[in-house]
Chain A
Amino acid sequence: MASELVERYFRKETLPNIWCPGCSNGIVTAAIVRAIDNLGLDQNNVCIVSGIGCSARASGYLDFNTLHTTHGRAIAFATGIKFANPELTVIVITGDGDNAAIGGNHFIHACRRNIDLTVVMYNNHIYGMTGGQYSPTTPRFDRATTAPYGNIDRYFDICKLAIGAGATYVARGTAYHVHQLTKLIERGISHKGFSFIEALSICPTYYGRKNKKGTPADMLKWLKDHAVDIKQGSKMDPEEFHDKFIIGELLNIDEPEFVEEYQKMLNNLKVNYK
C-alpha cells in the first residue's frame, strides 16, 4: 500500500525527503495522501499549498498542483487559488510556527470567512527548520534553543482559536493514531467550509533531545498514552485529565461558505459568471 501511494502521489525524484530520522512529518503527509486517495479525488484537481518550515517541504514531494509559499502566508495564497478557481480542492500544509505565529492573522480570517480550504497543521511544538526555537505551542517550562531556562510563554491551543474564529470543521489527531488522523483529514476535505486539522507530531531531533523525551518511539508512545478520544474525554474528571489532550472531531457545523456566498451575490446581481 505504502509503495503504491508513493508510486502514484509522490514525485519520486525528490525523495528521500529532507526530514530527520524519527520525524513524524512523513506519517502525517502519508495520512493526507491516503485521505485524498480514499476520497478518489482527481490528482489534477488537487492543489497543495504550504508555507515555510519542515512540514511545508511536503508540497514539493507531492505530485499535485503544488505551491510552496512564504512564511505564514500559505492560507492567503490558498484563498486566492480557491476563490479564483472553486473547482480545485485546496489543502494547506503548515506547522505550528508557520500557522500559529507568523501566519496567525491569515489563519483567523480564513476561519472567519469560512472559505472552503482544508488546513492540516503539523504541530511538533518547535521551530525545527531553524534548529529548535520555541514556538507558540511549545509547552510551558519546556526548553528550546531560545528558551535555555525554560519557556515562560503560555501554550496556544489552535483548535480553540479556530473554533473561536469561526472555522466550521475542527479536529485533532496525532501521528500515532494514523487511521483516525486519515479519517479526520478525509472529513475535513469533504466538509464544505474552512476545515482545520491539528496533527500532533514529534520532533525528536530538536524538541525531543532538548527536553529528554527519549527515542522517536518513546515520543510516539507519549502521544498514545496522553491522547483521550473526545467520546471518553467528557466523562473524565479534571484531575485525571490534567496532562491529557482530546483527539477526534471537535466541531462540525454548517455555515455559509465564502465562495458560495460570492456566487450568490452574483446571482442576486443577475450576472451569470462562474
Chain B
Amino acid sequence: MKKILFSLILMLTTVQLFAQDNGVEMADKLRSDGKIYVVVACIVIILLGLLAYLFSIDKRLKKIEKENLPKN
C-alpha cells in the first residue's frame, strides 16, 4: 500500500512538468483571473437545460406511446 501511494505521489509530481511554458500563447491569464469558469458555468447550464428538455420530451413521448401502442 505504501509503495503504491509513494509511486502515485511521484507520478503526481510529474504532472507539473507538462505545464511548462514554451512561449506559445494560451489562455493562462483568463484562467488565472478565474473568468474561464464563467464560460464553463454558462456552457454547463445550457447543456443541462437542453438535456433536461430532451428528458422531458422523452417522458411525454413515453406517455403518448402508452396510449397509442398498447402492446409495447
A and B held together in a complex? no
Question: Chain B residues in contact with chain A, CB under 8 A?
Answer: none
Q: Footprint of B on A, CB under 8 Å?
A: none
